[in-house]
Amino acid sequence: MKPTAPQLRIRRRQFGCLCAAVALLASSPASAHPHVWATVRSEIVFGPDHKITAIRQAWTFDEFYTAMAIQGLDTNGDGVYSKEELAPLAKVNVESLHEFAYFTFVHFNDDNKPLPLDAPKDYWVTYENPVSTLHFTLPLKTPLDPREKPVAVDVYDPTFFVAFGFAKKDPVKVSGAIPADCKVELEKPDAGAEADAKALSEAFFSQLGPNSNFGSQFAQTVNIVCNKK
Amino acid sequence: MRTSVRTALLTCLALLIGVACAAAQPAPPSAFGGASSAAPNAPGPSAAPPSPSFAFGPPQAVALHAPGLVGAFFSWVVDTQQTMQRELAGGVKRLKTGDPFIAAVSLAGLSFLYGVVHALGPGHGKTVISSYVVANEETVRRSVIISFIAAAIQAMTAVAVIGIFAIALNASGLTIKAWSLQLESASYALIALVGLWLLFGQLRALWRRFRPAPAFAPAGAGGPQVDFDDHDHGHDHGHAHAFARGDHDHDHGHDHGHDHHGHHHGQGEACHHIVDAKDVSGPMSWRKITAVVFSVGIRPCSGAILVLIFALTQGLFWAGVAATFAMAFGTALTVAGLATLALGSRELALRLGGNSGAWAEGVWTVCAIGGASLIVLFGATLFVASLGPARPF
């Protein structure tokens, strides 16, 4: 039976919707797809003048990535992966992290633009069977006073190749002279629905390009907050 | 070809059942004792205190959580992947410590499931293969076979990369990563080129159709639905075998003279194609298929690379290879499913026109040009992106 013209028009419209659905389905979960998992432990370093001078990072990687990373690096063949043997790995890691802003985004007073960081001077990789940990210290270009304005540190990979999550135990520590009325704390993930619409549109469209910012929605934040007198 | 695929599938099934039966034999009571026996020797001096559920002491991360409903879904996907990856690592280790049969079966099953989920991520050819089958006169059965060949080549690439660099050359992980990235770039470039080639072919076919000369009479003679076995009557006898030599056992004798009118309808296929409209797309061509599966397949699956190296460090490379192929089986299923979905959409689109030949022609033209263009765009975008700064990890 030949469908009538209006029937066809409706079906064609339905087909348009189907096409869009298929296109989204085919591409949507693409970026929810990390290959490396890293457990983050951060240290907020305070200078003698109670200002934040650096962020010290320790990222512990999953077993699979670790196996890949240390492959072939036991150069003296003694079965131990020493700090010296792993030094080339640390160097490549930290140098290529530069292009990715060290996956560490320091914000002063909810400023959207993250503050510039200096290249790490000390960095090394340790291997404790079965996982490896990359350690490095990121100096801030300008020390920040958390008593002036709140400071927030996000750790995430915008492209979500690496899934960063803070450690369950001791995710963030303080080193140096923190002001007495200040504290560092890991922000609890906000389950609120206010971000739904934003997440919906960003999740679907941000990942279609190579410069995706998909990972930002998984960002975990350390807040350095002070009680104003 | 059809029978050999069926035979291969049956063999896989028989193997699985056989192994499962063997595993059902009474096993020593210590089957999974290995997991806890590893406990005493693990924690290093500066490691965090051991968490109760793990024998070793590295810190455990809190679960990732993105806001919103969609975010919750993605968080779930991420969490599932991490769980599966941990299970995979555990599965490889149990081969040494647990009952080998049970461990082998569970590793195969886990790898398969991991493959099914993993293929939803980028780099397993779902876009390229779906676009290809939609743009060309392909059936559901053929797209399943294309997906499986592509996944098999991808698995072999991963095994070859690890075999050559990690085992033969004892190269570092950094070297292996660099080579994988090179192959990835090459794959994207090839995908773009293959797309251009397909697009050119489609445009040429389209140009021919709109010429007044009756040049296309023979193409429609074989019936709209070309059977899988009787490929390329009068076309493409050249068969470029240069690429995937030995990767698939295809029929070199051309089955001329039979099956010309065999309509093999997979699910979602309409019964009455409009014969004229078929001329828009090219005929079934192993040359095209080889190009497509090769361009997709030379990019090693990063999941497979990780499993292979991990298995290698455990001294169980063979288990890694087996897991890689089980994983490829899973990714092939997902890719084939998506390609089938895409084909179903095309068939639905064709049916929407009722018996209108003009509508069907339009659908074919859009599918053919759109599909090929999508492949070009996809390959070119990812190729350019792959030239960017190297990832640190």
Asked if A192 is an interface residue toward chain B (Cβ–Cβ < 8 A), one would say yes
Alpha carbon of A50: minimum distance to chain B alpha carbons (Å):
28
Q: Tell me, what's the pLDDT at A90?
A: 95
Quickly tell me which residue has 């560490």 as its tokens. Answer: A104
- Percentage of chain B surpassing pLDDT 70? 66
A87 touches chain B (CB under 8 A): no
Highest mean pLDDT among A7-16, A27-36, A162-171: A162-171
Instruction: Share the mean pLDDT of chain A.
Output: 82
**A201 vs A82: which has the higher pLDDT:** A82
Average pLDDT over residues B251-260: 39
Q: Chain B within 8 Å of A93 (Cβ-Cβ)?
A: yes
> Which residues of chain A are within 8 Å of residue B120 when distances are taken between CB atoms?
29-30, 33
Encoded amino acid at B313, one letter: T
Tell me if A130 and B70 make a contact (CB, 8 A cut-off). Answer: no
The answer to whether A72 contacts B59, with C-beta atoms less than 8 Å apart, is no
Does A65 contact B393 at a Cβ distance shorter than 8 Å?
A: yes
Cβ distance B67 to A217 less than 8 Å, yes or no, reads yes
For testing the chain A interface, which of B316, B343, B393 should be mutated: the one with the most A CBs within 10 Å? B393
Pairing of strands A52-61, A220-226: unpaired
A34 contact B CB<8A = yes
Listed range (A39-43, A83-87, B218-222, B342-346) with the worst mean pLDDT:
B218-222
B chain contacts of residue A32, beta-carbon cutoff 8 Å: 74, 77-78, 121
Cross-chain Cβ contact A22/B85 below 8 Å: no
Q: Alpha carbon of B214 to those of B223, B348, B361: distances in Å?
A: 17, 29, 17
**pLDDT of B99:** 84
| pLDDT at A208 > cutoff 50 | no
CB of A210 within 8 Å of a chain B CB? The answer is: yes
Instruction: Give whichever of A131-140, B83-92, B207-216 has the largest mean pLDDT.
Output: A131-140
For the segment B322-357, what is each residue's pLDDT rounded down to a tens digit?
999 999 999 999 999 999 998 988 888 888 877 788
User: For residue B178, what is the DSSP state?
Assistant: H
Output the pLDDT for position A62.
Answer: 93
**Which pLDDT tens digit goes with each residue over B15-29?**
444 333 333 333 333
Confidence (pLDDT) at A32: 57
Find the residue in A nearest to B386 (Cα): A210
Minimum mean pLDDT range among A90-104, A174-188, B277-291: B277-291
**Better pLDDT: B144 or A14:** B144
Weakest-pLDDT range from A216-220, B101-105, B274-278: B274-278
Confidence at B196, pLDDT banded by 50, 70, 90: very high
Q: How confident is the model at residue B31 (pLDDT cuts 50, 70, 90)?
A: very low
Query: What pLDDT was estimated at residue B219?
Result: 43
Q: What is the mean pLDDT of chain B?
A: 72
More confident residue, A160 or B48: A160
Give DSSP secondary structure letters for B208-260.
HHTSSS-TTHHHHHT-SS--SSS--TTS-TT---SSSTTTS----S--TTSST
Q: Does residue A5 carry a pLDDT above 80?
A: no
pLDDT digits (tens, 9 = 90+) for A103-118: 999 999 877 788 999 9
Candidate from A26-35, A73-82, A127-136 with smallest mean pLDDT:
A26-35
Cross-chain Cβ contact A68/B120 below 8 Å = no
User: Considering only CA atoms, which of A136, A128, A135 is closest in space to residue A70?
Assistant: A128
Residue B213's pLDDT is 56
For testing the chain B interface, which of A4, A68, A188 should be mutated: the one with the most B CBs within 10 Å?
A: A68
Give A8 or A197, the one with higher predicted confidence. Answer: A8
Q: Which residues from A are below 8 Å from B381, CB to CB?
A: 209-210
Q: By mean pLDDT, which of A6-15, A34-43, B83-92, B284-293 is the weakest?
A: A6-15
Identify the pLDDT of residue B156.
Answer: 96
* CA B90 to chain CA mean position, Å: 25
- In sequence order, the 6+-apart residues with CB closer than 8 A to the CB of A106 are A55, A114, A115, A117, A140, A144, A151, A152, A153
Q: Respond yes or no on whether ipTM tops 0.90.
A: no
Higher pLDDT, A199 or B43: A199
* 3-state secondary structure at position A218: helix
Chain A residue with minimum CA distance to B393: A93
Residue B367 predicted with pLDDT over 60: yes
Residue B372's identity, in one-letter code, is A
Indicate yes or no: CB of A40 within 8 angstroms of CB of B171. Answer: no
Q: pLDDT at position A194, please? A: 46
Q: How far is A118 from chain B (nearest CA, A)?
A: 17
The answer to whether residue A60 scores a pLDDT higher than 60 is: yes
- Between these two residues, B55 and B111, which has the higher pLDDT value? B111
| pLDDT value for A199 | 52
- Name the nearest CA neighbour of B325 among B194, B153, B95: B153
Asked if pLDDT for residue B157 goes beyond 80, the answer is: yes
Contact A32 B388 (CB under 8 A): no
Confidence of residue A19 (pLDDT cuts 50, 70, 90): low
Chain B: closest CA distance from residue A67 (Å): 5
Instruction: Please determine, for residue A218, whether its predicted confidence score (pLDDT) is greater than 50.
Output: yes
Task: Indicate yes or no: CB of A210 within 8 angstroms of CB of B310.
Answer: no
Nearest to A29 by CA among B374, B113, B116, B74: B74
Q: Which of B46, B68, B393 sits opposite A200 (nearest CB)?
A: B68
Put simply, the chain A residues between 131 and 160 with a CB less than 8 A from any chain B CB are 131, 133
User: Is 90 exceeded by the pLDDT of residue B275?
Assistant: no
B81–A210 C-beta distance less than 8 A: no
Q: Does A190 touch chain B (CB under 8 A)?
A: yes
Confidence class for position A69, pLDDT limits 50, 70, 90: very high
Nearest CA of chain B to the CA of A112: how many Å? 19
